[in-house]
Chain A
Amino acid sequence: MSRVAEATRPAARAVPSARAFRLREWLEREAVFSWLMLAPPLLFLLLFLGYPFCYGVYLSFVRRPVAQPATFVGLNNFLNLYNDAIFWQAVWNTFRFTAAATVLKLVGGLGMALVMHQNFRLKGMTRALLLLPFIVPTVLSTVAWQWIFDPGMGLFNRLLMFLDLVKQGPSWLGNPTLAMVSVILVNTWRGLPFFGITILAGLQTIPDELMESATIDGAGWWGRFRYVTLPLLMPVIFIVTTFSIIFTFFDFQLVYVLTGGGPANATHLMATYAYSVGMSSGQMGMGSAAALAMVPVLGVVLLAMSSYVRRR
């Protein structure tokens, strides 16, 4: 008995170690290891993005007033939106807002990065200060902007009157056109540092030798910018613009706090409209349909982004 036990002992010991070895070997296989590493973020995405998204898709096909059971209505919510003049105004506003703000941020951010790339006194502090709009919570900075836009006491109108440009300042948030200009301006102010700092990071990766050889070849500042800087910055500019389009298209806080979508829906965006229908009016189905209507745009942007990345 004891002999038998003794004889089997080494084998028994060998079994777990062989198993452990096989497990380690299995874990070290690239396909297994990569999935293991991917699992936590995937689970996170499924739970916090996948589930709400799928629930939103479900809600868009039902009539679902708050605190009441859902009734399947097919495409009725989308048809109602199609016939809703306010929704179309919000769509038009969203496109105008996104296009104008993105172009302004791109041009301004590029300029900001080029200036920040130069050597001057207090460069570090200036860079830190330029980040402020991005750091300050949007709600807080938007309240400050309300004061800046105030017709009687606001900075803008006081400045205009001080410079003798006008006798009485305009109504920035009361005039439908100026209200849209104002929200675009605040969005640009807030988003500029994101462009500036990211493009600056791209600028710093351009080797000085390239600039020197371009200079030796006789290129002036415009030539260096046009044929060296800009082509090398294109990947960064593309990525930062794509992200900005997404953020701007879905902007909510700024408009909600500054104008509430008014006056007369002049600044209502798709996000603020979806919120007012879904949350404030308690029409969860209709609100989800309005929110979901933004997804195709996001899809196009993502497709453009992925095809660009693949090409490079």
Chain B
Amino acid sequence: MARNHGSDGSTSRRDFLKLGAVGAAGATVGAGWRPRKAEAKPEKITFLRESSYVKEFDEHFNKVLIPRYQQETGIKVVYEIVAAGGSAVPRTVSIVESKAPVDAAWVQQEWLYREGLLDVSDIAKDVGKQQGGWYSEIEGLSVWEGKWKSVPFGNIGQCMVYRKDWFDQVGATTFPDTWEEFLEVGIKLKKAGHPYGMSMGHGYADNNSWLLPLLWGFGAQVVAKDGKTVTLDSAETARAVDYVRKLYKDACLDDCIGWLDPHNNKAFLTSQISATNNAMSILISAKRDLPDMGKVIDHALNPKGPKGRFHSFVPVTHGIFAHTPDPAAAKHFLRWLMDPKQVAAWYRSAQMYHAPFLHAYDKDEEWNKEPRFKPYQKVLETGKLVSWPAAADRRFGEVVNKWIVIDMFAKACTGTPTKTVIAEAVTGLKQIFG
């Protein structure tokens, strides 16, 4: 047996020092973070997501997908959940900055940190080919400088949610088709004690999801297609602002001007409002906890304006952080997750709460189980990114997170003249777009 130690079989002082140094280094590395070798199988993959408003969605991931992946690969998946309601973006930003040990995530507002994400073009292209192709609008978010920086998942659709019984009582047997009709019906409903509750506070989804489509429907845009020219200062914007001021005053609950994302759910479920713009979570909650109310809730597409009908996306995309110690393993996980064997059941677990950006699911049987959810699938046809008609880049992150457009409308509702609110918004936008 060959010996590596001293010639007499004992450990020499030099060997001892070498061993000591190696041991100390090993202990140091072992105690903290260490890079994984590409050829070695990782022990775990950490996947971060914002908690879903439909609890079955997270349950399916925890109870079905995690055990299955571990069984198939021997790799443990750590599902890190961030509370919904605005904390996911700062958390993801801090992960990118600190290179925290998270491999993949729902990369909310990925335009802020695309440089910190891996190129996942191979996965996105294969998944698209395999499952009917992607809705083209989502490419404006996921594709950046010719590379897919994220794999689209689904749109948390935002539609008009309303109390059909109360609408019927004021003679509106079908949901208003235009914004003007929506106002007329709203005036009647408010007089009957059932105002609308259209969010205009510092939330992230339920405010943008109707105010931006309304603005576009009136023919106005925040920024031109070139992504540089601020185009908000227009007669169309002024008309949209005047409309929202009137809608708020004559048809809405006063409180909605300060609402964050959960507030309209609460107001609707406590019968304080007759309509709002929201995801399908209100009906899901009502069917579970308030079955009588569940029977009289319905959904409709956003009303149309003089220039058409629009919706804004609340897109969910998954990406891999560039600092992951094992890109191949993270990519394998994401590819596995988006395989129809996994992803189809995952979509269905939440009753298509995340409307798939893949055409293969356009006529999925799940949409027929609750016909009232169908408008959320239709949203994909008229849905735009919040930056529309410009591409989604980091400057739009500032527009959204400083609530520049939302506050333009909110200030008008508090009595500030239309010209002033538009001028203030334009000043804010020019600071961002130069």
A residues adjacent to B (C-beta < 8 A): 65-68, 80, 83-86, 146, 150-153, 170-176, 179, 259-265, 275-277, 279-284
Contact = CB atoms under 8 A, between A and B. Distances in A.
B191 interface: no
A82 B93 CA distance: 26
A150 B260 CA distance: 13
A299 B428 CA distance: 30
B97 A280 contact: no
A264 B420 CA distance: 13
Contact of A86 (B254, B260, B428): B428
A282 B257 contact: no
A66 B200 contact: no
B266 interface: yes
Interface string B396-434: 011001110001001100100000000010011001000
Contacts of B201: 173, 259-260, 262-263
A152 B115 contact: no
A85 B398 contact: no
Nearest to B114: A67
Contacts of B270: 150, 152-153
Given A175-B258, A277-B402, A282-B394, 15 more contacts: A66-B113, A67-B96, A67-B97, A67-B116, A68-B115, A85-B427, A171-B254, A175-B257, A179-B258, A259-B260, A264-B410, A264-B414, A277-B398, A280-B89, A280-B90
A175 B413 CA distance: 10
20 contacts: A66-B97, A67-B96, A84-B431, A150-B266, A151-B254, A151-B255, A151-B272, A152-B267, A174-B258, A259-B260, A261-B202, A262-B202, A263-B201, A264-B414, A277-B401, A279-B90, A281-B112, A281-B397, A281-B398, A282-B93
Nearest to B94: A279
Ranked 6 nearest A-B pairs via Cβ: A260-B202, A67-B116, A282-B112, A171-B254, A262-B202, A263-B258
Residue of B97, B203, B270 with most chain A CB atoms under a 10 A cut-off? B97
Nearest to B398: A281
Interface of B: 86, 89-90, 93-94, 96-97, 112-116, 200-203, 253-260, 263, 266-267, 270, 272, 394, 397-398, 401-403, 407, 410-411, 414, 424, 427-428, 431
Contacts of A171: 253-255, 257-258
B137 to A, nearest CB: 23
Contacts of B263: 146
Contacts of B256: 174
Contact of B203 (A152, A179, A260, A265): A260
A173 B255 contact: yes
Given A65-B112, A179-B258, A260-B201, A280 B86 contact: yes
Nearest to A272: B202
A123 B114 CA distance: 59
Contacts of A282: 93, 112-113, 394, 397
B396 to A, nearest CB: 10
B94 to A, nearest CB: 7
Nearest to A261: B202
Contacts of B259: 173-174
A84 B263 CA distance: 29
B272 A152 contact: yes
B424 A85 contact: yes
A51 B394 CA distance: 28
Contacts of A68: 115
A263 B200 contact: yes
Contacts of B414: 175-176, 263-264
A263 B94 CA distance: 27
A280 B401 contact: yes
The prevalent SS among residues of A at the interface is: loop
B108 to A, nearest CB: 10
A275 B270 CA distance: 32
A66 B257 contact: no
Contact of B253 (A85, A151, A179, A259): A151
Contacts of A150: 255, 266, 270
B410 A66 contact: no
Contacts of A66: 93, 96-97, 112-113, 116
Nearest to B203: A260
Contacts of B116: 66-67
Contacts of A151: 253-255, 272
A260 B85 CA distance: 10
Contacts of B403: 261-262, 265
Given A152-B267, A263-B200, A281-B112, A174 B254 contact: yes
A171 B201 CA distance: 13
A277 B428 CA distance: 13
A44 B113 CA distance: 32
Contact of A83 (B253, B398, B411, B431): B431
Nearest to A255: B202
A51 B114 CA distance: 27
Contacts of A175: 254, 257-258, 414
A89 to B, nearest CB: 10
Residue of A151, A170, A175, A263 with most chain B CB atoms under a 10 A cut-off? A263
Contacts of A259: 201-202, 258, 260
Residue of A67, A68, A85, A152 with most chain B CB atoms under a 10 A cut-off? A67
A276 B402 contact: yes
Given A153-B272, A280-B90, A282-B394, A86 B402 contact: yes
Contacts of B258: 171, 173-175, 179, 259, 262-263
Contacts of A276: 401-402
B345 to A, nearest CB: 33
Nearest to A173: B258
A225 B218 CA distance: 66
A153 to B, nearest CB: 6
Contacts of B398: 277, 281, 283
A284 B259 CA distance: 27
Given A86-B428, A152-B270, A174 B90 contact: no
Residue of A65, A68, A262 with most chain B CB atoms under a 10 A cut-off? A262
A113 to B, nearest CB: 35
B93 to A, nearest CB: 5
A173 to B, nearest CB: 4
A152 B266 CA distance: 11
Nearest to A276: B401
A263 B409 CA distance: 10
A275 B202 contact: no
A152 B194 CA distance: 12
A151 B255 CA distance: 7
